[in-house]
Amino acid sequence: MFSWLPQNYPAAFNDLIIPPNLSVWVFAPHPDDFDAVSITLKKFFNADCRIYLTVASSGATRVEDSFCSPPFIQEKALVREREQTLSCAYFGLPSRRIHFFRLSEDKNGEIIDNTDNFVKVMNFFLRTEPDVVVMPHGNDENPDHALMYTFLTRLGGVATKSFIALLNRDPRTIKMREDIYTYFNETEAADKGTLLRFHQSQQQRNLNTRGIGFDRRILNMNREIAAQHPGRDKYAESFEVEIFKATHN
């Protein structure tokens, strides 16, 4: 199953021949993590792979009170889930492939490391048996990103078949090995920007707190990644590759 991966790194995802019918699980800590790597996901989609999206937490605490009326946590959660559903509809992902886990959180809105949360994730993993897992890198300032990577390593211990993890760079990633780059052009960047702006609550929050929209924040990072390897294209998504070998049959 790993024969389609490059023999040497770093490598361009654009040059790979992706086999059809791969099961690709996008293990997103929050809504919008899917859209942050939408160019790579579109390549899986166009290769007739089966993409599943799970959203671990709504990230409701990242919705400003002024954006939502009434400004209650439950309503904020629904806002973010609606944004992700609309984004996926634009992308072309069927609604039956989208699952909102709503994992339990602490008083600060961060996902709790407990058995119930892990079992919800594990049950989905064992039921779908993904070939590829796409998610943010665990070496990240965001505690939910770090915890979901911890969950992934635990899943590696119960896996009934081997799988590949593509761990993507995020604006808050501290440090990672960049093994694979997915390059894209201005036209694709414009389409990705449209996807990112479906997350209107995050677009507005970023404008209010950082002075740039969520779309520009992600695309600026993609431009910075591509600039490290000039010549391919103006933008790039980057990933560290980790292979998990099955330990249970």
Alpha carbon distance 197, 215 (integer Å)? 6
Domain interval for residue 148 = 12-244
pTM of the model: 0.96
Tell whether 197 is covered by a domain.
Answer: yes
Q: Which residues of 188-203 are buried (b: 16+ CB within 10 A; e: fewer)?
A: bbebbbebbbbbbbbb
Residue 166 DSSP class: E
Tell whether 7 is covered by a domain.
Answer: no
Q: Tens of pLDDT along 131-170?
A: 999 999 999 999 999 999 999 999 999 999 999 999 999 9
Tell whether 137 is covered by a domain.
Answer: yes
Q: What is the pLDDT of residue 248?
A: 64
Tell whether 5 is covered by a domain.
Answer: no
Half-sphere exposure of 227 (CA within 13 A, CB side): 6
Helix (H) or strand (E) holding 201: helix 200-210
Tell whether 128 is covered by a domain.
Answer: yes
- Cis (ω within 30 of 0) for the bond into 94? no
Q: What is the pLDDT of residue 231?
A: 81
Domain count, the chain: 1
Angle, CA of 47, 215 and 221, to the nearest 5°: 80
- Which CATH number covers residue 47? 3.40.50.10320
Mean pLDDT of 37-54: 98
